[in-house]
Amino acid sequence: RDLLRVIRSTYNPTVKAAEMDVLRPVMDADLLVLDDLGSEKTSEWVEETMNLIVNTRYNERRHTIFTSNYDDTPDDTDPDCLKARIGFRIHSRLHEMCDFLEFDGADFRHLPPNGGVDDLMTMWKMKPNRRTLPARTTAKPVRAQLKAPGGKADLGWTGGKAGS
């Protein structure tokens, strides 16, 4: 959300930075971590901007780690699933370029003061079924990373340029 906010601020005439001044380092970084994918309010502009970033990094084979608290379920009619939150195009691209890893555990932010590992284990064991929780409180992060060249999903296709 912070990245999108900075990019959006470049449209303000009083800001001297241009959109590409912000986007270029994001697209050129050797390693980029996009945290909490899908948490931003969805709009056509958000989807286009994220598509540009993801496609550019994919085409240039740059390492990118994505995290999300949204379930990657096959039910794309669920408004709380990852595909509904980030859009079909980005979701499809992530499945092409990434290995998905699921981490299941208690949210350490709900620990009591001075809580420890034992408290986390107790919280995790008593955790209700994720399907009964509202979207913003599901604790099922999806993490992904770029597949190695020659990996099972490497199609040997250089792809087009983002935005073309």
Model confidence pLDDT, tens digit, residues 10-55: 666 666 667 777 788 888 999 999 998 988 887 888 888 889 899 9
The tens digit of pLDDT for each residue in 102-152 reads 887 777 788 888 888 898 888 888 876 555 444 444 445 545 545 555 555
**CB-based contacts of 72: which residues, under 8 Å, 6+ apart?**
81, 82, 83, 100, 142
Four-point Cα dihedral 36, 42, 44, 49, nearest 10 = -10
The CATH architecture of the domain made up of 2-146 is 3-Layer(aba) Sandwich (3.40)
**Against a cut of 0.75, is the pTM above it?**
no
Q: What is the DSSP string of 80-114?
A: TBHHHHH-HHHHHHHHHHEEEEE-----GGGPPTT
Q: Provide the 10 A C-beta neighbour count for residue 126.
A: 8
